[in-house]
Amino acid sequence: MKQFIFLFLAIMLEVVGTSGLKASEQFSKLLPSVITVVAYVCAFYFLGLTLKTLPVGIAYAIWSGVGIVLISVIGLIFFKQSLDLPAILGLGLIIAGVIVINIFSKTVSH
């Protein structure tokens, strides 16, 4: 169970880092740039802890899939970026993939 707490923290920190990256305007703003670097370092630290017990392919699939969906929602809400129907369908497929992995895969120990 601890590996999923670490994975959750890695995902949240990656989303913060990516949001900071957008807000940094190509690293031209100091505070968002610092937030980006610190968040990514911490995200990779927690992802590394996750990999002690979870297979790398599964951990990365969940980390990147959930991160993509969350950052898309943040882009929609905070950065006023729109999503077209194919993008929404693709995000739905990513969510479905993460659900299938977590419910049906025997490589994920719950």
Range of lowest pLDDT (4-13, 27-36, 37-46, 95-104): 95-104
Q: What is the pTM of this model?
A: 0.86
Q: Domain of residue 11: give its range.
A: 2-104
* Residue 109 domain flag: no
Note the pLDDT of residue 105: 83
Average confidence score pLDDT of the chain: 93
* Residue 110 domain flag: no
Note the pLDDT of residue 101: 87
* Residue 28 domain flag: yes
* Residue 90 domain flag: yes
**CA pair distance 109, 61, nearest whole angstrom:** 15
* Residue 50 domain flag: yes
Q: How many domains does the chain have?
A: 1
Judge whether 5 and 54 are in contact, CB under 8 Å: no
pLDDT band at 19 (very low <50, low <70, confident <90, very high): very high
Tell me the Cα Rg of the chain: 15
Q: Is 67 helix (H, G, I), strand (E, B) or coil?
A: helix
| Per-residue model confidence as pLDDT tens digits over 31-84 | 999 999 999 999 999 999 999 999 998 899 899 999 999 999 999 999 999 999
Cβ neighbors of 63 (< 8 A, separation 6 or more) are 7, 10, 11, 14, 47, 50
